[in-house]
């Protein structure tokens, strides 16, 4: 008999699409489950005709859901209204955010990580499909790098004026048509998004249409003004990402990259654009820098390494990125901030230890306990300020702030012990982040001196 599994996904059509892709690709792992996905009506309508739901039930009607019993329920949504809904679900096991006794409960690490994205992460470190697979407990399947297909069709995305002038776009079409008359040229609005795009190349901004195209087989050149990690980047290897570093797209620069991909030649990496390529590792999809990267890319590498250890206990080896002067200055600034945070943690751990000893003492002093509780509150306030001013540290501080909120102790003594453990874990994580920053700085500064 199949077990009943509920997935709540209220974050919009892009997030629902990626959730459905995970289920479609993991049918073998989920064959013992009867799956229901609770999504918003607008998201379901947006994806109508673009996804296959033969293996599960997709609904926006919450009434029958509330009257049904599930063996397991998963909340993949960052929408706060879903937390209360998840509380009302009748399920034996609840994974993901839900309200419990009036407080936010997030029992698993990967759901906690997902909430750091909601809090304002500077980039998406892991692909949504990899995040969802880990929350659902689906084991990663080995993926083979597919051979690049011969390009017969180029599909241009919806470029906003912020990316390229209208005249530049018309000129780009002429350049492509002149250089490759055998290649069909289309706008994304002209294609059927449920077709086979194995021989297609998409060129444009990263958006939901681009994700649909690439899931149907297309390769992609995704153009943005800055590095956003894996946000709206399709799953899989062989996709290219261009960051113009806040400049508008220039046809001559873009044409050189397009030609290299069509001709299966080496890319010219001398452009002042930052070029990246997606690849697959044991933990999932990641982004490799091909030339001088954006300011945020060295931090992305540090995040990939540290988050993999914190969430999966995996040791990931990535080549240290070569940094420019601006990148080194930002790294030094964040390195200094982490050093401050480590000193604050030393104060916090001292206060927690004092509170713990007081709770064990027969002659405990209430004013001493109150004073150290005040210290902890002040330390949390300073850490929150550092999180606001240092975006590349913030996800880790948000992660452990949420973890501290999961303190289930029933007495002050138990709560103090649990708080000490969480602060200690955070201290170790920040020490590791500090070392990753130090290694990157040392290697780059040594290269400059040579």
What's this model's pTM, rounded to 2 decimal places? Answer: 0.93
In this predicted model, what pLDDT tens digit does every residue of 240-275 receive, in sequence order?
999 988 888 888 888 988 999 899 888 888 888 999
The DSSP bridge pattern shows strands 103-105 and 98-100 to be: antiparallel
Least confident range from 72-76, 138-142, 166-170, 440-444: namely: 138-142
In this predicted model, what pLDDT tens digit does every residue of 103-139 receive, in sequence order?
999 999 999 999 999 888 999 999 999 999 999 999 7
Tokens of 236: 């899989």
Note the CATH number of domain 3-136: 3.40.50.2000
- Mean pLDDT for the stretch of residues 356-381: 84
The DSSP bridge pattern shows strands 33-39 and 56-59 to be: parallel
Closest-CA residue to 400 (of 370, 432, 369, 373): 432
Determine the pLDDT at residue 242: 94
Instruction: At 27, give phi and psi (nearest 5°).
Output: -55, -40
Determine the pLDDT at residue 187: 92
Q: What's the CA angle centered on 117, arms 113 and 120, to 5 degrees?
A: 135
- Mean pLDDT for the stretch of residues 23-46: 92
3-136 with 153-290: one CATH topology?
yes
Instruction: Name the residue ranges covered by the structural domains of the chain.
Output: 3-136, 153-290, 325-449
Question: CA-CA distance, 341 to 429, in Å (whole number)?
Answer: 11
The fraction of the chain above a pLDDT of 70, given in percent, is 95
Tokens of 240: 């290219």
Question: CA-CA distance, 398 to 119, in Å (whole number)?
Answer: 7
The fraction of the chain above a pLDDT of 90, given in percent, is 62
The DSSP bridge pattern shows strands 56-59 and 153-156 to be: unpaired
Tokens of 439: 């290694």
Closest-CA residue to 206 (of 220, 216, 196): 220
450 versus 278: the higher-pLDDT residue is 278
pLDDT beyond 50 at 152: yes
288: β partners? 277
| Burial tier of 111 (Cβ tally within 10 Å: 0-12, 13-18, 19+) | buried
pLDDT beyond 50 at 449: no
Determine the pLDDT at residue 447: 57
Tokens of 67: 């009257």
Residue 74: other Cβ atoms inside 10 A: 26
Instruction: At 71, give phi and psi (nearest 5°).
Output: -75, -35
383 versus 445: the higher-pLDDT residue is 383
What's the number of CA atoms in the CB half-sphere (13 Å) around residue 245? 13
- pLDDT-derived band at 54, boundaries 50, 70, 90: low
Question: CA-CA distance, 55 to 36, in Å (whole number)?
Answer: 10
In this predicted model, what pLDDT tens digit does every residue of 285-323 receive, in sequence order?
999 999 989 999 999 999 999 999 999 988 888 888 889
Determine the pLDDT at residue 97: 97
- pLDDT-derived band at 359, boundaries 50, 70, 90: confident
Angle between helical axes of 325-360 and 366-389 (0-180°, round to 10): 170
Question: CA-CA distance, 40 to 47, in Å (whole number)?
Answer: 11
In this predicted model, what pLDDT tens digit does every residue of 8-22 receive, in sequence order?
999 999 999 999 999
What's the number of CA atoms in the CB half-sphere (13 Å) around residue 182? 6
The backbone region for 49, taken as left when phi is positive above 0, alpha when psi lies in -120 to 50, beta otherwise, is left
Determine the pLDDT at residue 52: 64
Mean pLDDT (the chain) is 90
Determine the pLDDT at residue 313: 84
Distance, CA of 96 to chain centre: 16
Determine the pLDDT at residue 337: 95
Determine the pLDDT at residue 141: 66
What 3-state DSSP class applies to 432?
helix
Architecture of the domain delimited by 153-290: 3-Layer(aba) Sandwich (3.40)
Q: What is the DSSP string of 230-243?
A: TTTPPSSSS-EEEE
Tokens of 5: 């599994």
Closest-CA residue to 291 (of 313, 273, 311): 273
Determine the pLDDT at residue 448: 47
Determine the pLDDT at residue 172: 87
Asked if 209 and 193 count as a contact pair (C-beta separation under 8 A), the reply is yes
Question: CA-CA distance, 399 to 430, in Å (whole number)?
Answer: 12
Long-range contacts of 355-360 (CB under 8 A, 24+ apart): 355/412, 355/416, 356/413, 356/416, 356/417, 356/420, 359/411, 359/412, 359/413, 359/416, 360/413
- pLDDT-derived band at 450, boundaries 50, 70, 90: very low
pLDDT beyond 80 at 160: no
pLDDT beyond 90 at 194: no
pLDDT beyond 60 at 142: no
pLDDT beyond 60 at 238: yes
Question: CA-CA distance, 13 to 17, in Å (whole number)?
Answer: 6
What 3-state DSSP class applies to 4?
strand
Question: CA-CA distance, 2 to 5, in Å (whole number)?
Answer: 9
Determine the pLDDT at residue 215: 92
């Amino acid at each position: 008999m199949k077990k009943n599994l509920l997935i709540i996904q209220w974050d919009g059509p892009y997030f629902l699409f990626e959730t459905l892709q995970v289920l479609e690709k993991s049918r073998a792992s989920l064959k013992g489950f009867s799956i229901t996905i609770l999504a918003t009506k607008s998201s379901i309508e947006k994806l109508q005709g673009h996804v296959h739901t033969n293996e599960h039930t997709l609904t926006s009607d919450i009434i029958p859901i509330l009257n049904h019993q599930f063996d397991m329920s998963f909340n993949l949504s960052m929408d706060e209204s879903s937390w209360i809904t998840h509380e009302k679900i009748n399920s034996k096991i609840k994974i993901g955010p839900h309200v419990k006794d009036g407080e936010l409960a997030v029992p698993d690490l990967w759901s906690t990580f997902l909430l750091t994205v909601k809090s304002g992460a500077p980039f998406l470190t892991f692909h949504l499909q990899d995040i969802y697979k880990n929350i659902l407990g689906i084991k990663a399947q080995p993926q083979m790098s597919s051979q690049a297909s011969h390009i017969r069709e180029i599909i241009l995305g919806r470029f906003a004026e912020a990316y390229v002038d209208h005249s530049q776009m018309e000129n780009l079409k002429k350049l492509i048509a002149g250089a490759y008359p055998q290649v069909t040229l289309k706008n994304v609005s002209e294609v059927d998004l449920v077709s086979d795009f194995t021989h297609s190349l998409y060129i444009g901004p990263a958006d939901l249409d681009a994700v649909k195209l690439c899931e149907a087989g297309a390769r992609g050149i995704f153009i943005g003004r800055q590095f956003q990690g894996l946000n709206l980047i399709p799953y899989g290897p062989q996709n290219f990402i261009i960051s113009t570093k806040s400049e508008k797209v220039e046809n001559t620069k873009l044409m050189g990259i397009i030609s290299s991909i069509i001709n299966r030649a080496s890319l010219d990496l001398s452009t002042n654009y930052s070029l990246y390529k997606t690849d697959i590792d044991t933990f999932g999809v990641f982004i490799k820098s091909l030339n001088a990267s954006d300011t945020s890319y060295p931090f992305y590498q540090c995040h990939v390494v540290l988050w993999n250890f914190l969430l999966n206990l995996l040791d990931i080896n990535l080549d240290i990125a070569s940094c420019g002067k601006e990148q080194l200055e930002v790294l030094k600034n964040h390195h200094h901030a982490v050093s401050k945070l480590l000193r604050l943690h030393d104060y916090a751990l001292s206060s927690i230890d004092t509170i713990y000893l007081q709770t064990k003492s027969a002659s405990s002093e209430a004013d001493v306990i109150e004073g150290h509780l005040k210290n902890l509150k002040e330390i949390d306030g300073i850490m929150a300020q550092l999180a606001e001013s240092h975006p590349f540290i913030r996800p880790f501080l948000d992660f452990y702030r949420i973890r501290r909120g999961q303190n289930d102790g029933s007495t002050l003594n138990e709560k103090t012990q649990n708080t000490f453990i969480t602060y200690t874990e955070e201290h170790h994580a920040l020490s590791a982040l500090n070392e990753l920053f130090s290694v990157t700085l040392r290697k780059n500064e040594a290269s400059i001196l040579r």
